[in-house]
């Protein structure tokens, strides 16, 4: 029974060896062909062409993360609308009502976040 898994193990082994060889070869080629001319201007940190004006490890406001997470959540929820739109004619009223409930919950969540002030940016 275990002999059925031998082709899978061979395939995984070949892929591991191939990927390791690809990494090693690319590093060796980069080492031989790379031109390094380090100087102060190249090694200087920059922000959009300007000299740095603050510490690179500055703390971000929590609202930035909150808005980013809310965007991801609502964006993923809206992504469920596309497959539903493709099969909307085939699933009938049951699918229409189900998507209506989904959109209603999405709107309720959006309104809740709006009234809580999570989308406000100063």
Instruction: Write down the domain spans for the chain.
Output: 2-116
Q: Does 5 score more than 70 pLDDT?
A: yes
Average pLDDT over residues 47-67: 71
Beta bridge partners of 47: 50
Place of tokens 């709006």: 114
Q: Does 8 score more than 90 pLDDT?
A: yes
Query: What pLDDT does 14 receive?
Result: 97
- What's the pTM? 0.46
Higher pLDDT, 96 or 122: 96
Q: In this structure, what token pair is assigned to residue 63? A: 């609202």
CATH code for the structural domain at 2-116: 1.20.58
Which of these, 102, 52, 47, 46, lies nearest to 77 by C-alpha position? 102
Q: Does 38 score more than 80 pLDDT?
A: no
């Amino acid at each position: 029974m275990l002999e059925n898994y031998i082709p899978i193990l061979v395939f995984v082994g070949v892929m591991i060896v191939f990927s390791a060889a690809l990494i090693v070869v690319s590093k060796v080629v980069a080492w031989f062909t790379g031109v390094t001319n380090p100087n102060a201007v190249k090694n200087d940190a920059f922000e959009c062409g300007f000299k740095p004006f603050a510490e690179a490890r500055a703390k971000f406001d929590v609202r930035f993360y909150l808005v980013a997470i809310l965007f991801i959540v609502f964006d993923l929820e809206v992504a469920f609308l596309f497959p539903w739109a493709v099969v909307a004619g085939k699933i009938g009223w049951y699918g229409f009502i189900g998507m209506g409930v989904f959109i209603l919950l999405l709107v309720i969540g959006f309104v809740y976040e709006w009234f809580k002030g999570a989308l406000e940016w100063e």
